[in-house]
Each structure stands twice: as structure tokens, then as C-alpha cells.
Structure 1
Amino acid sequence: MIYQFSVGRLECVVVSDGQPGPPFEPSLGDFYTPESGVPADVLRDACRGRSTLTCGYNCLFVGTPDGTAVVDTGLGASFLGYGEYIEPLVGKLGDGMTSVGLSRSNLAAVVFTHLHQDHSRGAIWSGELTFPDATAFAHSAEVAFWSGSVDLPSARPHLEVARETIRLFGEKLRPFEYGAEILPGVQAIAAPGHTPGHAAILLQSQGERLLCVGDTFYDPLQLTNPTWATPWDLDAPASVASRRHLLERAADEQILVHAYHLPFPGLGHVQRDGSTFTWHPLHDR
């Protein structure tokens, strides 16, 4: 699954690492739980009969003056972390790259919104760097967090992959700060909370913009209910504040949004609806 478009002079392509469909779509009740602040009756009323969400892995390639970069890399091949059913449904990034003429050896940069395994394992799944000549970028707080002592239960499933990503890239991993221009036309935007160094990525060229929001939201339900957190938000109040800020900016400035986990290609616009928001896909699949 590929989708090609441009942001000014930045040539872009969304390549899916996989998008599990029925009967393998995850339950909404796994994402929005009483423990994360969403009572079961509130979720039931909001869902209006829907019980699952579509969890895509939409990796974004961007052609910059300094070479081609990818924002997040999917789960990669041979992944069994969510159960055996998931293994044949993900790890499609390499095939998608080949179909649009992208070479792993020619990739210049890997930009991580954060280091959860579904965003970083695609870069290291084989035990070696998938993109051997690429420089990697992640927020300094993200690198520091996963390099230290991690005791939070929701973080533990991601710890091994995050640390292996840091180890394998080594000196080729360049920590950044919010506001930094990572590559020409590619800027890091503050979005902490989901993880300590979670970042959004803003592309800008010739007056056109695209905001990659990473895991700011998993489903349109988090636009109509922006205070909802998930079990994977390590700092729920901060994640809610980041989500509201990014949604307000995307709506008020009419910025095209790239949402990593929404149905392929994860592109759309955000509109205000009173104190909440609505999601408008760029087009139907």
C-alpha cells in the first residue's frame, strides 16, 4: 500500500508496514480503558456500536535536499509481540519501498517520533540496521528515558527494541530538541506525554505544510474526546495537553495531518467542533 504526494518541493510517499483488518482489528476497549480514564459506559456510548479500531502503520518517506528520510519504520518482519496472528500482517515496508523505487541502502535519515517498537523495530528487526547508511534522529529526552532505568509496566514491552535501536545506531543516532530543524524543511514539534520525548514532525516547503503527529491519537474518537488517554501514555495529562495543542494548531492553521495509526494513508484535516474536533480523511481508501 503506497500513496504518493508532495508538500511544496518535498516529494513524499506513505508506505504501509501493514494494516491488520477484520477479524484482527484490535478492540477499542484495549485502547481506552477505565484505568486510562475512560469508563466502560462512556466508551460504549461514544462508540455507537463500533467495537474495534483500524490500527495502521503508515510510514512516511520524504525527499529532502539532504536525501530521503523516513518518519517511523513500522514493526518490521517476524514480529510476534502481539501474538502469532500479527506476523504475516506486518513487515511490509521493504516491499512497499521496492515498488516505488526506494532503496534501503540509499536512505539518508530515519526520524523517530518516539522509540516504541511499532515505530522503531522496522529499523533494526533483523539484528542489523535496515538502513545501513542512514543517520537516525530522536528527541534527547526519548534517548535518555529508554537508556535509563525503566520500571513503568506499559513501557516494558518496548524496552528491548528501544534499547537495541539506540545501540545499533550508536554514534549515528543524533538527539534533537523541540523546535530544531532536523533536515531541510523538517522540524521537530513538542508533543511530550505519550513518551517523554514524543515529537510531532512538521514538513514545510513553498508555503505548504504537513504535520506528522505520531501517536498523538490512535482513532478519531480521540478527536471527539481529546481528554481520553490510553494505557501507553506514560504521562496522561501531558499527552492530553499535547494532543489538544496539536489539534488546535492543525485546525486553526488548516495544516494537512499525517496520523501514523489511522487507516491508510493516514492523511486528513482536523476541524473544530465546539470544544472538540473532527477528522476528515483526505480521501477514501
Structure 2
Amino acid sequence: MTTVTRGTTPATAPRTLRFGEHTVTWLPDGHVQLDPRRWLPDSTAADWAGRNAALLDPDGFLTASIGALLIRHGDRAMLVDAGFGPHAVPAENTHPALGALVGGQLPAALDAVGVDPAAIELIAFSHLHDDHLGWALRPGPGLASPFVNAAFAASAAEWSHWARPAAGSSRTRTVGGGEEVFPGVTAWPTPGHTAGHTSYVLTSGERRLIAFGDLFHTPAQLARPDWRVVVDAHPERGAEARRALLAELARPGTAGFANHFSGAVFGRLANHSGTPCWEPLEEFY
């Protein structure tokens, strides 16, 4: 087993797994290039040699997937996050630690799995960065969100730090730690990347799936949760949240949803010669 198992190419088609009474589906929207040394400024050139070199694209970037997690229970459906939206930003116009940033695939991904955006009752945001809210709150000039019946949920701290108005205040709601936002899905505060960053835990019997947003952007961080992320609002709290997540992922029956882990978004924490690493899941056991 190695740290990387699926290369650097983001998934371009939805992927559905059965999880007890639920089904979970990765819905791709696009991708973003991350400059590894700038995005993770505590890392060194040596850290991106050896097996971690396989995480880099030919231009030396980490290619991070962007999308959403669809959770279905009976005839009900929700999303965790909402992609970047129908936008394409060249490297010269993004953050200095980024390369190209593109979205736009999410509606087609929903159509491919037979889900009408109007059937989505809730979009629970891990945080309110553009690559997580696009199709809900930033669909583009002259475009309306396709999620016409969805409530938009985030932590109070997240809403209070978001500068732009929400798409209709009657559609927004605040979620707190331990709150069940959807059958089997509870909110878990994991601040650090942003002040109100929230993970979501889907529980079915003795099994759990943790959708952990931007706590980790690449499998290389699993062995180095102390590495700062250049855009973390509170770096020390971010490191604490990453360590707490690693402890939870190590518990029996626990898997993770890693929105930015290229093609291997569903996985579990494994160990390779004493080094924590990501083991992609083909199905839940």
C-alpha cells in the first residue's frame, strides 16, 4: 500500500456506494491546482519526493477535486457542499498558491444519477469558500441556483464571517454541533480552516462516514497534520481539528469522504510502515 492509489486525475463521473439505509454519491463539479509548497508552507521539497511525488501532476501541482456529496435516504436527498459553479479561473487570476480553478459539472452529474436539483431539500456547507458554495449561492451572472427547494445550512460562525448576502434569508439556517440535519447525519464543528468549518457524520448502525470538508486537501497531510494550510483562518485550531479527525477515522467502522482527494474521495485511514495513509473504498463493509 502507498500514500497515493489513484493518481492525480479527479473523478469525472459520479460514484455511488450503499451505506446501510442510505446511498452516498460523489458528484464531481471540477478541480483546482494547488501549489504544494505554497499551499502547505511547512512542507519541504523533500516531502514531495518519493511516494508523494505521485500526487503531483506534470506541472508539479496537486490536483484537487471539487464537487459535492449527495446523501439519499428513502425518497429524501441532501448535499454536503455545492461545488464551484459554472466558472473557470486561470492561474494568473487565482490565489498565489493556486493554479487553474474550474467548475461546472455538478448539474450533469446529478442528471447522470437521476436526481432533480429541485428534489434536494438541504445543502449543508462545510464552510463558505467559493469552491463549496458555487451552485447554491454563486451560480453566475444572470443564473439562478438550480436548488430551488433547498435550505442552506452552515454554522453560525460561518454565516457571520461571510461577506455576501445569502440567497434569500428565509432559506438559510444555522446548524450547531451534534445537531441532526438529515436522517442519520449530524454536524461536527471542526473550526480552523475557517472560523465555523463543520464536518458532517453519517451514521448507520455501527458504521460512520465522515465528510470532512477542507480539513485535509491531499493524502500527504495524513502523516503531517501539523502542516499549516496557507489559507487557514486559525492554523493552530486547524491542526487540532486534523488530529481530532485522524483519531475518529482510526475508530472501527469509520470511513471518510475527502472532497479534494482527486479520484479517491471515499476511503479509510490505513497504515503503511507506520505512516498514516488513505485506502480508497470500493464498497462499505
Is TM > 0.5 for Structure 1 vs Structure 2?
A: yes
Which residue of the partner structure matches residue 191 of structure 1? 190
1:8 has 2:17 as partner: no
Q: Which amino acid aligns with 2:180?
A: E
1:104-155 superposed Cα distances (whole Å, 9 cap, x missing partner): 11211111000000000121313533301101110111111224xxxxxxxx
User: Alpha-carbon deviation of 1:275?
Assistant: 8.0
User: Alpha-carbon deviation of 1:18?
Assistant: 1.7
Q: Which sections of structure 2, spanning at least 5 residues, go unmatched?
A: 1-12, 94-98
1:116 has 2:129 as partner: yes
User: Alpha-carbon deviation of 1:53?
Assistant: 1.4
For normalisation by structure 1, the TM-score amounts to 0.82
Which residue of the partner structure matches residue 108 of structure 2? 95
Which residue of the partner structure matches residue 171 of structure 1? 170
Pick from 135, 150, 153 the counterpart of residue 137 of structure 1.
Answer: 153
User: Alpha-carbon deviation of 1:48?
Assistant: 4.9
User: Alpha-carbon deviation of 1:169?
Assistant: 3.7
Q: Which sections of structure 1, spanning at least 5 residues, go unmatched?
A: 148-162
Secondary structure in structure 1 of the residue aligned to 2:110: helix
Identity percentage of aligned residues: 26
User: Alpha-carbon deviation of 1:66?
Assistant: 7.5
Which residue of the partner structure matches residue 27 of structure 1? 35
Q: Which amino acid aligns with 1:105?
A: A
Q: Which amino acid aligns with 1:27?
A: D
What CA RMSD, in Å, does the superposition of the two structures yield over aligned residues? 2.5
1:260 has 2:273 as partner: no
How many residue pairs get matched? 258
User: Alpha-carbon deviation of 1:26?
Assistant: 3.3
1: distance between equivalents of 2:90 and 2:197?
22
Secondary structure in structure 2 of the residue aligned to 1:133: coil
Secondary structure in structure 2 of the residue aligned to 1:245: helix
Secondary structure in structure 2 of the residue aligned to 1:129: coil
Secondary structure in structure 2 of the residue aligned to 1:108: strand
User: Alpha-carbon deviation of 1:208?
Assistant: 2.7
1:50-108 superposed Cα distances (whole Å, 9 cap, x missing partner): 53212001311011358210111111103327558957x52100111111111111211
1: distance between equivalents of 2:75 and 2:90?
35
Ranges of 4+ aligned residues in structure 1 off by more than 6 Å: none
Which residue of the partner structure matches residue 60 of structure 1? 69
2: distance between equivalents of 1:44 and 1:272?
19
For normalisation by structure 2, the TM-score amounts to 0.82
Secondary structure in structure 1 of the residue aligned to 2:133: helix
Secondary structure in structure 1 of the residue aligned to 2:118: helix
